[in-house]
């Protein structure tokens, strides 16, 4: 595994719910041909499959809580292996959610060369999620769950940013700007990798 993906760049994309991670990742895929792996999307696909594991996951996600670490990591790892031969880079979107998840990822897969910190204000994230909830069909895009997800983000994920800042790989991106301007900064951070 480590062999297979050793030449690929690994980028962690971290930010609160509704900060714009998915939106920016899509644009990176279009411009750079990276593989986008959203831990949330992988988990939601498992739920949609109707499997027993999916049913357990659904209950956890509906409460706005974090899914057990090994489950998420195994799913990301399998998806990375599947794309290893064709991928120049991987966008790991929405992971790590807590410092421990980052440590386990590095043990089992590899080290990130960049962490894109997609930063928006709490009130902006709530507004965007309420709007997204009108059409997303996501069980967690409702006011009560949004509040829990935000609280958990500040408590569990902000330490992730501190942890990787000390390693010098964090680029903070102002996601209050219009989508294309945000992407300008994202692209700059990726271009600086070369």
Ligand X SMILES: Nc1ncnc2c1ncn2[C@H]1C[C@H](O)[C@@H](COP(=O)(O)OP(=O)(O)O)O1
Q: Is 102 in the site for ligand X (CB under 6 A)?
A: no
Q: Which does 133 bind (CB under 5 to 8 A by kind): Mg ion, ligand X, none?
A: none
Min separation Cβ 7 and ligand X, Å: 27
Strands (E), 96-141: 114-119
Q: Is 17 in the site for ligand X (CB under 6 A)?
A: yes
User: Each residue of 134-170: b (16+ CB within 10 Å) or e?
Assistant: eeeeeebbeeebbeebbebbeebbeebbebbeeeebb
> Which 175-194 residues touch ligand X, going by CB under 6 A?
175, 177-179, 182
Residue 17's region, left for phi above 0, alpha for psi from -120 to 50, else beta, is beta
Q: Which does 121 bind (CB under 5 to 8 A by kind): ligand X, Mg ion, none?
A: none
> Which 11-30 residues touch Mg ion, going by CB under 5 A?
22
Nearest of 81, 73, 122 to residue 98 by alpha carbon: 73
> Which residues lie near Mg ion (CB under 5 A)?
22
> Which residues lie near ligand X (CB under 6 A)?
15, 17-23, 128, 131-132, 175, 177-179, 182
């Amino acid at each position: 595994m480590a062999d297979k993906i050793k030449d690929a760049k690994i980028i962690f994309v971290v930010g609160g719910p509704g900060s714009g991670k998915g939106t920016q990742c899509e644009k990176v895929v279009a411009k750079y041909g990276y593989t986008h792996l959203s831990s949330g999307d992988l988990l939601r696909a498992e739920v949609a499959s109707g499997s027993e594991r999916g049913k357990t996951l659904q209950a956890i996600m509906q409460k706005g809580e974090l899914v057990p670490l090994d489950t998420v990591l195994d799913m990301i790892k399998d998806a990375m292996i599947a794309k290893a031969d064709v991928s120049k880079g991987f966008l790991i979107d929405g992971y790590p959610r807590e410092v421990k998840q980052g440590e386990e990822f590095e043990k089992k897969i590899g080290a990130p060369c960049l962490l894109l910190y997609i930063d928006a204000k709490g009130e902006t994230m709530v507004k965007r999620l309420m709007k997204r909830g009108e059409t997303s069909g996501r069980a967690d895009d409702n006011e009560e769950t949004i509040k829990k997800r935000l609280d958990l983000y500040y408590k569990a994920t902000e330490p992730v940013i501190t942890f990787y800042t000390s390693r010098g790989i964090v680029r903070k991106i102002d996601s209050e700007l219009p989508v294309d301007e945000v992407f300008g900064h994202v692209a700059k951070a990726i271009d600086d990798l070369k």
